[in-house]
Amino acid sequence: MADGLFYVDHRMPFISADAASVTLAPTNKAIIPIANLPILGSNYFNYVGKALRIRIHGRYINGATPGLILYSLVFGSGADNVGTTLASVNTTGIVNIASRMWLLECVVRCRSMGSSGSLFTSGLLFLAGTGQFGFPDATPSAVTVDLTAANTVITFQANRSGSTAESMQVHDVLYEALN
């Protein structure tokens, strides 16, 4: 006997070619074009426990003075530096990285619903040459967001404090509805 009708479902759209490279700035830059993100309708998280698994893979390039690089998962419109940060990790960039792989894998789970709903995010960020980081880097906690808002997305964004041109590129994006 089944516990319920739970499933894993890949969310469209799918990437058919690498996204354009994004040069980081002192404020958040969306790493994934909005055309490659699933639009979440109002009340997408329609019950406590509903979850979305996110797996994003790409490459990064660091310049001579990368400084700190902040990676964030943001709930909002998908525009640069717009929305509510669900989770983030701050790392020290390694000097002169020509091209290294990165991978974010996390789960975003509904903890409460409605216009003052909350989402809980936990996962890992792997940066080749730098290491593996908890995502978020602090103790995870639920973040209050308006889950009734239409046309929202969950996007990966990054910014840098260094003085050279660091960049990131996405090779693949996988959003999966877990139930």
Task: Kindly tell me if the per-residue pLDDT of 70 is higher than 50.
Answer: yes
Residue 48: strand, helix, or coil: coil
What's the rounded Cα separation, in Å, for the pair 7 and 113? 20
- Mean per-residue pLDDT, 46-75: 92
Task: Identify the pLDDT of residue 63.
Answer: 81
More confident residue, 7 or 159: 159
Domains in the chain: boundaries: 9-177
Convert the pLDDT of each residue in 82-99 to its tens digit: 999 999 999 988 888 888
pLDDT in tens, 93-125: 888 888 899 999 999 999 999 999 999 999 999
Look at residue 13 and tell me whether its pLDDT is greater than 90.
no
Rounded Cα gap, residues 28 and 82, in angstroms: 8
For the cut 70, the answer to whether the pLDDT of residue 4 exceeds it is no
pTM, full prediction: 0.92
Proportion of the chain above pLDDT 90, given as a percent: 72
d(CA 128, CA 60): 9
Q: Write the CB contacts of 87 (distance below 8 Å, at least 6 apart in sequence).
A: 72, 73, 106, 121, 122, 123, 135, 136, 140, 143
